[in-house]
Amino acid sequence: MGYCVKCGTKLKEDDKFCPKCGAPVAKTTTEEISVSADKLIENVKALLHEGNVTRIIVKDEKGKVLLEIPATIGVIGVVLAPWLAALGAVAALATNCKIVVEKRE
């Protein structure tokens, strides 16, 4: 399942249009990256600057979701600051993390 890139509504797997705003649903791919905690913030910043990322999920080594960042947050730098502070706290707690990246095709 993904999220609408226009309004952020959660979408079903077979949706072709957003049920809330009517925007066409773009195809997305998911990629998982394993990183050490000290490289976590650097990797997330680099992913957000790519531009085609719709969502970033940070998980611990057991697969538990620690933080989920919607892509619309990455567009605005001022709003990004609290997310990066939260990432710093996550990095302090975990030794190894998995970053799940959802991208538009």
DSSP string, 12-80: -TT-SB-TTT-PBPPPEEEEEEEEEGGGHHHHHHHHHHHS-EEEEEEEETT--EEEEEEHHHHH-HHHH
State residue 14's pLDDT score.
Answer: 81
DSSP type of residue 7: T
Average pLDDT, the chain: 77
Q: Which of 51, 8, 6 is nearest to 24 (CA)?
A: 6
Q: Which fold has domain 28-104?
A: Dna Ligase; domain 1 (3.30.1490)
State residue 87's pLDDT score.
Answer: 72
Which pTM value belongs to this model? 0.65
Residue 42 in tokens: 């650097």
Percentage above 90 pLDDT, the chain? 0
Residue 47 in tokens: 């992913």
State residue 74's pLDDT score.
Answer: 45
The CA distances from residue 65 to 49, 79, 91, 105, in Å, are: 22, 21, 13, 24
